[in-house]
Amino acid sequence: MEKFEGQMSMLADEEEKNDSTEENKKLQVVRFEFSEGLEMNWQELFSGFDTIHAITYSSGLDFTAKLLSLFENAEILFGCEQVMSYSLHEVMAFQMKLSERIFMNKSAEMLADRIEAGTLKMYVAREELSHEKIYLLSAKDGRKRVVFGSANMSLHAFSAIQRENIGFVDGEQAYSWYKKIYQDLKENCTDEITKRAIAVKIDEDATDELPIIRTVRAKKILEIVEGKQAESEVKFAMDISGLAEKYREVVPKPDKNGKILLSSEQIETISKKIIHKKEQQIKNKRKIVLPKFIFDIESREANLNGNPFNLSLDNESVRNDAQLFIQYMKGYERFHGDYEEMQRNYFNFLNWMFCSPFMAVLRDKASHYGKEYSFSYPVFGLICGNSKGGKSKFLALCMKMMSGINENESSFPVNHFTKTIVNSLRNEVRGLPIIFNDIVKKRFDEHAVEMIKNDIFGFEEHDTNYPAVAISANSDLKVFSSEIRRRMIICRINGAITNMEIRKDNITQKVMKNIGTALYCEYFRRMLDAVFQITEKIQNDDDESPDILQTSSEILCSVLYEFSGSELPQYVRKISLADYFSEKVVGKHIVEFIRMAWNTDKSNFQIDKKNNLLTFNAGETYEAKRFEKELPESLFPKQVRECVIMNLDAAREFFELDFKIGVLDKLKNKK
């Protein structure tokens, strides 16, 4: 206890030492004498004056327009607490977003007209402003008033919707004091918003009209000092972070003191970089194809990007594609690891990808007829595993076979992987899967988990053509909750190829170049009849969920058998729903881990026969937590510190181990 208190004392001393300089700074404090408390509305508070000078952080532009209508002349300084450090790229992003926000407001034209007439000036922060909200009011007859407190320039603040601390004082003395503060902020920390800045359309390049850019052009040189990070107290309703990252790549880096000496020449360079980056983004966007694969089960017709989907290709084309696919899969024999398992898992994923366009149809039918098994038709699939395991290439191969789309056009950028954008894409893309490569754990946890757990996309609209979502990820994505495991196809790849072997790989490029859509067309033609029969089973109130994945594998195997021209490899086989979602399949990697741990060192296990419990010491708390999430519910797993406790009989069956410790093992444990 004394040691702990000593450590805390040392930390407190260090913190006090670090903050001593800040604490010794003099504050500007105004002493008031209380006169009376009043009740009035905002019109009564602000009316009777001709001119207003205001400092506000967040603002409601509709209220701002109403407030300005009371004054002949006005100046407003806008700040933003959500721009944490006021670094150059953040300032540029904030100023751009504020200009866009004003432009999109219905009062934009009135504000622009007043700016042009010279009766309104607006300034935007480039350095961290204080927390003051000040409104300086003056009249032609010499009357002066200062309104101050916590209220920003918004209707919520000045209409008693939320609690605010609002006060005012009349007279020249207070007005002069606060006017000096206002002028200092205006001259040293802000840039003027021009009429042109709020008149530029959102899709135009308005970099030259950014207030900070105009200031640099006028002053020739400007020093930018990054402020300290502070916690946001007011949520400013705009998305700055994405645009800030865009500008971070093009603006100069601050020196070791956090300063940027910004010259007019550098502004020209920044402008050119922004234009070049925007042009590059447009080119990249053009590479992404938004396929529209629309089909009708009853009429047996399909359409890809406005053209009929050919379902009557010649046998030679189908044979060529089937042989190329077998050749591609044979290439995994060169990979290090269990290549046969890789082939099985990749074939499993191909089977799901091929039948994924039908998932929306079956989910809609199941939902329409009140079935509880709609998640038996999964619309999310994940390939995860080692880097250089061929995951991205395989997804590109699947898309090439299904649609003819080339590799560089088949996947979407990682930053598009958010719930909002994915759902938007699911409205735009029809039928064919949306592919995202190299999704990291943080992004998956933030965006995928909720999408998958609560996925009712298309149910209300009876949408039968929305796409599935196929994801690849490296081995950092290991643990999935039971809600995710039973709703998403998960295939793990435990093999890899070296850089030099990749360079020597001619098979992959040859197949990717020459393979077409004939194999998939033949598969799809046969699936149309099969899926129609499945929809009738659902409609006829069958309690058991029809297994679309098994039907798909049977048809895929029959097509490959007829057209491959050789004996089929073992990975080409009938697959059922259980091959994707059974506890043994989903938990295969953890079964292998526990079996290895048991055979290597039994001292990590404790067997309690009396209470029918098995305890495994995972070594670390976070590892135990991971195991608890990954183990099936039938084992009743429970994490306690660094250990996982589970049902002994269920564990014996699941891991296929007797979990009996012999005499020799006990002696080893004692040693």
Rounded to 10°, the helix 315-330/518-539 angle is 90
**pLDDT more than 90, % of the chain:** 27
Token pair 């150059």 in the structure block, residue: 88
CA distances from 90 to 73, 163, 251, 256 (A): 30, 31, 10, 18
Q: Which helix or strand (DSSP H or E) is residue 289 part of?
A: none
- DSSP state at residue 70: T
Checking if the pLDDT of 492 tops 90, the result is no
Tell me what pLDDT residue 284 has: 55
Architecture field, domain 42-281: 2-Layer Sandwich (3.30)
- 595 vs 546: CA distance, rounded Å: 34
Which comes out higher in pLDDT, residue 662 or 26?
Answer: 26
Q: State pLDDT tens for residues 551-581.
A: 999 999 999 999 987 788 999 999 998 888 8
Q: State pLDDT tens for residues 641-659.
A: 999 999 999 999 888 888 8
Tell me what pLDDT residue 235 has: 35
133-166 CB burial, b ≥16 within 10 A, e <16: bbbbbbeeeeebbbbbeebbbbeebbeeeeebeb
Checking if the pLDDT of 517 tops 60, the result is yes
- 181 vs 175: CA distance, rounded Å: 10
- Arithmetic mean of pLDDT over the chain: 80
Tell me what pLDDT residue 478 has: 67
Listed range (58-67, 218-227, 648-657) with the worst mean pLDDT: 218-227
Tell me what pLDDT residue 159 has: 79
Determine contact, residues 391/472, Cβ cutoff 8 Å.
Answer: yes
Which comes out higher in pLDDT, residue 87 or 658?
Answer: 658
Kindly give, in sequence order, each residue whose CB lies less than 8 Å from that of residue 530, ignoring residues fewer than 6 positions away.
551, 555
Determine contact, residues 353/523, Cβ cutoff 8 Å.
Answer: no
**pLDDT more than 70, % of the chain:** 77
Tell me what pLDDT residue 114 has: 85
Checking if the pLDDT of 187 tops 90, the result is no
Which residues of the chain are in CATH 3.30.870.10 domains?
42-281
Please choose, from the candidates 253, 47, 46, 233, the residue with its C-alpha nearest in 3D space to the C-alpha of residue 153.
46
Q: State pLDDT tens for residues 258-274.
A: 787 778 777 788 877 87
